[in-house]
Amino acid sequence: MVAGTTGSGKSELLISWCLSLAMQYSPDDLHFVFLDFKGGSTFNALEHLPHTVGNVCDLDLFHAIRALNAIEQELVRREALVSAERVSRFDQLVRPPARLVVVIDEFHALRDRLPDYMQRLNRLASLGRSLGMHLIVCTQYPMGQVHADMKANISLSICLRVTDQMQSNELIGIRDAALIPPSIPGAAYCNDGQHTTPFLCSAVRDVNRLVRNIGTAARFHACKRPDLLFSEPLTQHATQSDLSIPSNQSWHNVPFALADDGVLVYTAILDVSQQNIAIIGAYGSGKTNLLLHCARWLYDTGCANIRFTRKTEHGMVTDDGKPLPSHKRTIWIVDYADEALNPFSSAPEANELREALVNPNITVIAAVEKPISALLDRCPTRVAFPCGERSNDLMLGIPGAILDGFAADDYTLPGRGVLMQQAKACPIQCVEFQGF
């Protein structure tokens, strides 16, 4: 724990400390996650270190929540690794992961703005050390701001200048940090549990230059840049170029959106090889855009017979394409399928659509404005575009926890929906249709 009042040199100490670690250990052995709750400027330069796997600030709370979720997932992953190899510490693993240092500036602001997530950091302080995960928290007010469980697991305390003797006593056991004059920023006392030692931290003269030199050294030693521990939240717009599509992608796995599991954003796919798919949403939500994108992908692969039914001023019109006997599967894409799925409908395509839904050789991708049981009962995979009316959205099968993460603007954003398949649900942003 690092404590000190404004102007005492806390941020400079953190930067010097992290740069010293980065110079001593390679990106293969050490990773950083930075959380800045002082406006986002403290760790801007350190974000470019080859060791950095995440950097967020309080200007984007959703991003900060993703970071805390990712840290919790990493803790659980390392617990599983240690358990699987039947060892007690991560450094006893055959191939231990890099040590992870989580650095939080202005911890009291994090506690005030995200109080529900403090238990995760308490777990990190309690269990992290044996799993190679370490926590550095920096605050102006050590008294009353740090939970007792976390404080019990803090082995190193650094106190720069504070405004009263009680704060100094709380952190390092002596009052001396309150006697540091304002004219000496960087002066501090360090308590390691046995001794209290005074020291003076000097600011790094050229942080950017040192970061560049560390990056050059990492490239010289062929250190691979680590993957980010978490990504930014979903963007408001997505195109085909935003998707990660392997060169050997199967024709029936249609990449159609960016999906968000709360930590990472990845490419979502619709598997059209076996099961029917329901697309549910109001007019203008992005249903037709999604259907056209799927049709374009399937037409380009040329591995199935494609039928496309759409609504015109003259009624429903179906384009059968060029069916080939060699293709064993037919993909029938139906836009505005509400009328055809009405049990009292006399439309010519109504009976044919009902039969297709139970035909094992046909995959139906149908778009409707309202949930229809005749469709949903036959569609284990669904894409729903929430409308903002919570009761209606819950009826679509969207979990309440996902709706809680939707901002007001998300409900009016075309293409922002929820993918539900294999008993899982996640928010998505569908790609914009690029045309045939």
Residue appearing with tokens 């979903």: 234
Query: What are the CA-CA distances from residue 315 to residues 312, 331, 374 (Å)?
Result: 5, 21, 21
User: Tell me, what's the pLDDT at 319?
Assistant: 86
Cα torsion through 375, 381, 384, 389, rounded to 10:
80
d(CA 345, CA 338): 10
What CATH number labels 2-220?
3.40.50.300
User: Tell me, what's the pLDDT at 344?
Assistant: 82
d(CA 265, CA 245): 14
Residue 343: φ, ψ to 5°: -60, -20
CA angle (376 as vertex; 371, 382 as ends), nearest 5: 90
Element (H, E) at 384: strand 381-384
Residues with Cβ within 8 Å of 236's Cβ and at least 6 positions away in sequence, in order, are: 409, 413, 416, 429
CATH of 240-430, one of 1.20.1260.10, 3.40.50.300, 3.40.50.1480, 3.20.20.80: 3.40.50.300
Element (H, E) at 395: helix 390-395
Neighbouring C-beta atoms of residue 216, cutoff 10 Å: 11
Q: Which two tokens stand for residue 219?
A: 């490239």
Regarding pTM above 0.95, the answer is no
User: Tell me, what's the pLDDT at 230?
Assistant: 94
In the chain, domain spans: 2-220, 240-430
Q: Are 177 and 183 in contact (CB under 8 A)?
A: no
User: Tell me, what's the pLDDT at 252?
Assistant: 92
d(CA 295, CA 334): 11
d(CA 248, CA 367): 29
- How much of the chain is in helix, strand and coil states, percent to nearest 5? 35, 25, 40
Per-block mean pLDDT, blocks of 10 residues, the chain (436 long): 91 94 96 87 90 87 90 96 92 94 91 88 91 93 79 90 90 91 93 91 91 96 93 91 90 95 94 93 94 93 89 82 79 92 83 92 94 91 95 93 91 96 93 85
d(CA 334, CA 348): 14
C-alpha closest to that of 419 among 218, 260, 275: 260
User: Tell me, what's the pLDDT at 40?
Assistant: 64
Residue appearing with tokens 């949903």: 376
User: Tell me, what's the pLDDT at 92?
Assistant: 92
d(CA 108, CA 149): 16
329-359 CB burial, b ≥16 within 10 A, e <16: bbbbbbbbbbbbbeeeeeeebbeebbebbee
**How distant is the alpha carbon of residue 214 from its chain centre?**
28
- Identical fold between 2-220 and 240-430: yes
Residue 200, strand partner residues: 187
What's the sign of the alpha-carbon dihedral 325, 326, 328, 330?
A: negative
Task: Transcribe 119-153 into DSSP letters.
Answer: HHHHHHHHHGGGGTEEEEEEES--TTTS-HHHHHT
